Amino acid sequence: MPGCARQISDNVVVKETPTQFLELEVEALRFVKKNTTIPVPEIYDIKPSATEKDFSTLSMQYMEGEMVARKWRFLTPAQKRTFMKMIGSFVQQLRNLKQPSDAGFIGSIEGNACYDTRVCPSKTYGPFVDERAYNDWRISTFDEFGNIHEPTARQLQGIRKQMSDNHRIYFTHGDISVRNVLIKVHGDGDDDVEITALLDWEQAGWRPEFWEAAKIVYGMDPHGDWCHLAREEIFPGYENEIQLENELLLISGPPR
């Protein structure tokens, strides 16, 4: 997704990105700020871009800290575990939030179209009345491969039969990664690590319960300590759901 963020003063960061995605991020930030204690930036202003058509500019609070991507390898094993437990507490706060109406829908906070780079990287999709409708649509996005290759069509049918339509639907960040968490490290002690911000909420929304687990390990070394700790401290289980998602990506290659 095109877009960039830059600090323009001691207290302000400006992010410019396609309007449809920025509106989703603003919606999520306001919702999380109001209903949780997760550290997220305050929104100051959103307006059309002066230079890019269909882009908007978001002015928001500068959050102190460094990206986990720059600090992870310097953390002790105990600090990494402390960090992941804190992420787990944030995830639990999100899971405690309730849908405004029509419980069970998949989409944005207000039940509109949503966005996720693993599913559809260049545009929004949905909403869906329930997980069954979402799963049917998800499989249909691979029809171009099944239509030209019968074994692939059979494989897709087999994957669909294994996909549960009865997961709980939770509010999901959808992009918890080493790039989107800021931390401060105050010393060498087990608890001397502080999460100062969880950023980039444009992929947030109401998703099946396994989706956060699938996304937190997406693009990471499956044998590395990030994935190991995430599975151990936050998301035991969901191996089957993640495997099915990985099988889908093997059919198409990376999303485009």
Cβ atoms of 30 and 44 within 8 Å: the answer is: no
Domain assignment present for residue 115? The answer is yes
Report the C-alpha gap between 169 and 210 in whole angstroms.
9
Domain assignment present for residue 5? The answer is no
DSSP 144-193: HHHTT-HHHHHHHHHHHHHS-S---EEEE-S--STTSEEEEE-SSSTT-E
Cβ atoms of 59 and 22 within 8 Å: the answer is: no
Cβ atoms of 66 and 180 within 8 Å: the answer is: no
Domain interval for residue 87? 64-252
Domain assignment present for residue 17? The answer is no
Domain assignment present for residue 8? The answer is no
In this structure, what CATH number is given to the domain that contains residue 211?
3.90.1200.10
pTM of the model: 0.94
**Each residue's pLDDT tens digit in the chain (256 positions)?**
445 789 889 999 999 999 999 999 999 999 999 999 999 999 999 999 888 889 999 999 999 999 999 999 999 999 999 999 999 999 999 999 999 776 799 999 989 999 999 999 889 999 999 999 999 999 999 999 999 999 999 999 999 999 999 999 999 999 999 999 999 999 999 999 999 999 999 999 999 999 999 999 999 999 999 999 999 999 999 999 999 999 999 998 766 5
* Structural domains counted in the chain: 1
